[in-house]
Amino acid sequence: MIAQAGSWANGDRFTIFFETAGAAGTSGSSGTSGSSGTSGSSGSSGTSGTSVAVGGTTNRIVKFTSSTTIGNSLLADDGTDLKYNHFSVNYSSGAVDTDGGAITTGGGGIDTESGNLITNGGGLDMSGGGNIDGNGTNDLNNFNNITANSKSFDIEHPTKKLPWRIEYGVLEGPEHGVFFRGQTTESVIELPDYWVDLVHEDSFTVHLTPIGGPCVHWVEKVENYKVYINCQDGEINCYFTINATRKDVNPPKLEYIKE
């Protein structure tokens, strides 16, 4: 037992006695060392307490592996990237790397907010539907081959302006064709120098339209990527259109069975 002396405001003195061995005392059942105390059987360090074994690897975010043990999860944080197995997000750039895995939105969108969508050899499968919307301001660059059911361009109407627009279809045919056109009064039409490596010389077709009156114009020969022409009265004056087939790409398949 502990005694504590004191005095009232009028000067009278008093003594208070504390029971240390009682139920609520220091050594009592609810005290510090009691059965429910810090060191008691039900305390935090007691037999019924919450003792947990901690383990893990550097940079790994831990998780409970049982009710009393903590170990590695699949999440890692090295200060640069937050990684989940093969999937990672870079803190500074916000770049997402799936390491070859697919991103499935389940019908949702992927908004890059002016960034790029880079697959690095992977595919972008939209067979379930959906659109890639460039909002009229973005480019689709550096594709080796583009196929579609139809191709067109859609621009703001140049004279009526918005809300009017113009949609044009793209010319289609059984070849990857190029053309060169213009007006000439010369007997030789000089073709662009890059046509030597761009088109087949034996694929040329030439269309000549006389200017100013009916006068027969004709092609004398095509040689060394030059078109030699002449006309009935010797006074060449015509519009010309020259078409040819590209040789730097494979020709279209035309009729085929899809694998």
Amino acid sitting at position 108: G
pLDDT in tens, 122-138: 777 777 777 777 777 77
Closest CA to 177 of 193, 158, 198, 159: 198
pLDDT in tens, 194-216: 999 999 999 999 999 999 999 99
pTM: 0.59
Q: What is the C-alpha separation between 54 and 258, in angstroms, rounded?
A: 58
Tokens in use for 182?
Answer: 């213009």
Contact 241, 181 (CB under 8 A): yes
Tokens in use for 81?
Answer: 């990237």
Q: Is 197 helix (H, G, I), strand (E, B) or coil?
A: helix
Strand pairing report for 53-54 and 69-77: parallel
Strand pairing report for 87-90 and 2-7: unpaired
Q: What is the DSSP letter of 27?
A: T
Distances in Å between the Cα of 105 and the Cα atoms of 83, 124, 204, 237 are 19, 12, 49, 61
Tell me what pLDDT residue 38 has: 53
Bridge partners, 227 (sequence order): 189, 222
Bridge partners, 184 (sequence order): 238
State phi, psi for 201 to the nearest 5 degrees: -65, -30
Distances in Å between the Cα of 63 and the Cα atoms of 22, 50, 70 are 42, 16, 5
Q: Which residues contact 206 (CB under 8 A, 6 or more apart)?
A: 219, 222, 227, 229, 240, 241, 242
Tell me what pLDDT residue 3 has: 57
Q: What is the C-alpha separation between 210 and 222, in angstroms, rounded?
A: 19
Residues in the chain: 259
Residues in the chain where the model's pLDDT stays below 50: 44, 46-47
Tell me what pLDDT residue 92 has: 85
Tell me what pLDDT residue 217 has: 98
Tokens in use for 164?
Answer: 């009017």
Provide DSSP, 172-187. Answer: --SS-EEEEEEEE-SS
